[in-house]
Amino acid sequence: MLQLVFPNEYFKPVDFENLKVFCIIQDDAELSTIKKAMKRIRKNTCVRFRKRKSEADYLDIQNEKGKGCATVVGRQPGKNVLWLEASDRATCMIDRIVQHELLHVVGLEHEHNRYDRDNYIKIHLKNVLPGKEPQFNLLSRRKTTAYNIPYDYNSLMHYTKTAFAQEGKITVEALDPNYMNVIGTRTKPSPNDYKKVCNMFKCSVCKRKVKRTTKVNGVIWRPKSKSEPEPSLNEACTDDVNFCRALEQMGVLYCNFDYIRKSCCATCNAVISGDGAVFMRPKMISGSVTEVTAE
């Protein structure tokens, strides 16, 4: 229900040095639209976008014809590409689309992919354009959390009722009919979109309101949720195979894959939860490539 790999929200302190997203912009076309979207996130969360100097992990915003509007969810090590096409074929340079994509960069998945979505919407897969079915996959309950934030028909991260639909069909049906013409029409992030980001990074200020916090050794932490306790973690983590270091040295240790993370737990710098699940520490957030419909 957040839409992020589980442990990040438990380990990441509200340390502004760690909440900067360093980026480079390859094309100055519609630069004002991108900056406006970044500014909106800055004003309502503790996430900051900064121009990249030599940082190893960074966001590369590119305008490439045919790429559409797409990025990975969360932060991967190294270069993370955000495609925002602005060509004679199509454009992503619309406020709501740029904001949508930047929220993916920060760590939010689509609202209609939440693991509890079947209580609120019905997906008509038979009406989906061939090949676009993965856009409606259900997120894993083990790897995502809600932060006790209810399903949000008004989320900017929600698809429209006709997203990737065959002509004359609908793909997303709101079980509450009052929201059928609401889903996917938001032009800016909803309050709950911002709350997810703030809870994810334990922001001391959210929507310009100060939250109750605790300061330890100069670092601010958000109090634990009483209704959603933190998982117990075992810091002792070992590799199950003997070639993990070699893979790391060759640059092919892909810790965002479950089976690699489990086999090379120590080398991936992962942690084990009380139920035996293996998660990455906050610097490695796994995600999948997403595509935005501009409907």
Per-residue pLDDT of 16-39, as tens digits, reads 344 678 888 877 767 889 999 999
- Stretch (H or E) spanning 75: none
Q: Where are the domains of the chain?
A: 20-107, 233-280
Q: What are phi and psi for residue 191, nearest 5 degrees?
A: -55, -40
For residues 286 and 4, give the distance between their C-alpha atoms in angstroms, rounded to a whole number.
8
Ordered alpha helix ranges (H), 187-279: 191-200, 244-249, 258-263
- Residues catalogued as catalytic: 101
| Average pLDDT of every residue of the chain | 76
Express each pLDDT in 146-178 by its tens digit: 777 899 999 999 999 999 999 999 999 999 999
Express each pLDDT in 55-88 by its tens digit: 888 899 999 888 899 998 888 888 899 999 888 8
20-107 placed in CATH 3.40.390.10 = yes
Residue 220 is predicted with a pLDDT of 40
| Residue 143, helix vs strand vs coil | coil
Burial label, 2 (beta-carbon count in 10 A; 0-12, 13-18, 19+): buried
Residue 237 is predicted with a pLDDT of 72
Specify binding-site residues for Zn(2+). Answer: 100, 104, 110
Query: Crossing angle, helix 191-200 and helix 95-106, to 10 degrees?
Result: 20
Q: Which of 1-5, 76-80, 260-264 has the highest mean pLDDT?
A: 76-80
The CA-to-CA distance between both ends of the chain, in Å, stands at 23
Specify binding-site residues. Answer: 100, 104, 110
Tokens of 242: 């003997």
Length of the chain: 295
Q: Which of 15-19, 108-112, 211-215, 245-249 has the highest mean pLDDT?
A: 108-112
